[in-house]
């Protein structure tokens, strides 16, 4: 008798990528980076200056956003400029932000979140 897998498999081939995108967008630093990159491409020191967060936090979130195909790094000397990928659509409104991400396999995810009031 063969053993059946007890792990559930999603019918969506990119379920792990979509899950990672959801987890990323749940973090405020990632949303702040996305919001800033909608205005113009920026490098790490510029993001640190405008967002007021440590460079290690900015770099870690940029690397995760790049892995999920939300942000692209354009090699520009002497620093790397980061910009939103073409597959990402952002509608930044005063009270909400809506992010739509299309994955390379054709799946899409749309998230609408309220801005945090400070």
What domains sit in the chain, N to C, each tagged with a CATH number? 15-114 (1.10.10.10)
Return the bridge partners of 89, or none. 100
End-to-end CA distance of the chain: 60
State residue 104's pLDDT score: 76
Find, among 116, 106, 99, the residue nearest to 21 by Cα.
Answer: 99
Per-residue pLDDT tens listing for the chain (118 residues): 455 556 666 666 677 888 888 888 888 899 899 989 998 999 999 999 999 999 999 999 999 999 888 999 887 777 789 998 888 888 888 888 888 888 777 778 888 888 765 5
pTM over 0.85: no
């Amino acid at each position: 008798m063969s053993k059946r897998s007890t792990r559930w498999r999603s019918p969506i081939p990119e379920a792990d990528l979509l899950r990672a995108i959801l987890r990323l967008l749940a973090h405020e630093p990632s949303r702040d980076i996305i919001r800033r990159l909608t205005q113009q491409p920026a490098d790490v020191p510029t993001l640190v200056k405008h967002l007021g967060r440590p460079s290690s936090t900015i770099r870690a979130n940029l690397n995760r956003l790049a892995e999920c195909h939300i942000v692209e790094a354009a090699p520009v000397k002497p620093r790397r400029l980061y910009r939103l990928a073409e597959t990402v659509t952002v509608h930044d409104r005063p009270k909400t932000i809506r992010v739509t991400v299309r994955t390379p396999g054709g799946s899409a995810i749309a998230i609408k979140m309220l801005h945090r009031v400070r």
